[in-house]
């Protein structure tokens, strides 16, 4: 991990998608390691699950669940794989993934490229269940019935997931975000509730590009349909002032430029939920200070991905260590005491 600043120029010599492929290949051949031990004060319970650390890996890094155990071994308290669609799909034409190095950001328009749920069902079914692994599900781009895709995905992937995330927030599948509209969202969540089996937790991942009234409407629908947590938020189609090239590329922006927007959206959802619905913060988190700001603003857990491109694989452990120190310095005996303390 300490070598990453030396390795980063080599990785950046490859285009973004090739570098990512090489990273997954390298992780897949790493010797299996034991799960790390976390400071006990970092543990918390969300949706009936015990998270040993609030620092999670966001969906998108390990789309086909090839390296969840390697990422858990690197210090993540939980890992979310996917997004997975019922049928395999190649995604959008290349190039479709761009580094914005001066901004410490990424633009992607991958379009749910994945090998399909059946392949991952088999892969996860063979692994030893250790550590928390969530599965993020979506709809195929050419689906005639996207709501049916989500219901089918939930039934297919429930046996191998610790939780499932309903992803209706990607900007890279045309029309997908329309499922966040009032009528469509209620219809979707009603279908999800009907397809739900047992007590598996269901999370809903939302977009950051929302308008006045959207937060209240989404929260009400989530509570009415027994959603267990909201993930706030996916990539943005907005373009704040950026310094790098590639800024004109279509797709979702993630990384440091999203920090302010993601925190604002978290605060808005916290104001609507009042702590009644757990929140998972993602977007622009690249340090323990960023993670702490989200937790005291109301996040029960946090996720990251783009920051790994610039900070390297040791980031999860560093953030966890920093959070434990912030808890001690602030006089909190546990993470749950800190959640929303500044709200």
Q: What is the DSSP letter of 114?
A: B
φ/ψ (deg, to 5) at 97: -140, 125
Active site residue 143: no
Residue 307 three-state SS: helix
Residues 168 and 232: beta-carbon distance below 8 Å: no
Tokens representing 72 are: 């858990």
Residue 203 three-state SS: strand
Tokens representing 75 are: 């210090």
Residues 232 and 266: beta-carbon distance below 8 Å: yes
Secondary-structure percent of the chain, ordered helix, strand, coil, rounded to 5: 40, 15, 40
**Given 44, 53, 169, 170, which residue is catalytic?**
170
User: From CA 240, how far away is CA 247, in angstroms rounded?
Assistant: 10
Residues 124 and 162: beta-carbon distance below 8 Å: no
Which positions are annotated as active-site residues? 170
């Amino acid at each position: 991990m300490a070598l990453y600043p030396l390795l980063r120029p080599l990785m950046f010599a490859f285009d973004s998608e090739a570098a990512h492929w090489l990273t997954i290949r390298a992780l897949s051949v790493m010797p299996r390691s034991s799960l790390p031990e976390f400071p006990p004060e970092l543990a918390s319970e969300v949706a009936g699950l015990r998270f040993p650390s609030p620092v999670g890996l966001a969906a998108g890094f390990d789309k086909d669940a090839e390296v969840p155990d390697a990422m858990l071994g690197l210090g993540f308290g939980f890992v979310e794989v996917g997004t997975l669609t019922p049928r395999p799909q190649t995604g959008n034409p290349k190039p479709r993934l761009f580094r914005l190095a001066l901004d410490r950001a990424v633009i992607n328009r991958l379009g749910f490229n994945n090998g399909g749920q059946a392949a991952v069902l088999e892969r996860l079914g063979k692994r030893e269940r250790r550590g928390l692994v969530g599965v993020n599900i979506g709809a195929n781009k050419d689906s005639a019935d996207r709501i049916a895709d989500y219901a089918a995905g939930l039934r297919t992937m429930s046996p191998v997931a610790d939780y499932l995330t309903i992803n209706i927030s990607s900007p890279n599948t045309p029309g997908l975000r329309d499922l966040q509209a009032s009528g469509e969202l209620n219809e979707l969540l009603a279908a999800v509730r009907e397809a739900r089996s047992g007590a598996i937790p269901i999370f809903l991942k939302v977009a950051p590009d929302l308008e006045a009234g959207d937060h209240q409407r989404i929260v009400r629908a989530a509570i009415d349909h027994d959603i267990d947590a909201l993930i706030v938020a996916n990539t943005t189609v907005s373009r704040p002032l950026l310094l790098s090239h590639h800024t004109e590329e279509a797709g979702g922006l993630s990384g440091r430029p999203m920090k302010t927007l993601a925190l604002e959206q978290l605060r808005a959802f916290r104001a609507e939920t009042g702590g009644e619905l757990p929140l998972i913060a993602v977007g622009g988190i690249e340090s323990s200070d960023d993670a702490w700001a989200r937790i005291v603003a109301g996040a029960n857990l946090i996720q990251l991905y783009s920051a790994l491109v610039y900070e390297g694989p040791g980031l999860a452990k560093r953030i966890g260590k920093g959070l434990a120190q912030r808890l001690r310095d602030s006089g909190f005996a546990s993470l749950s005491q800190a959640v929303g303390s500044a709200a």
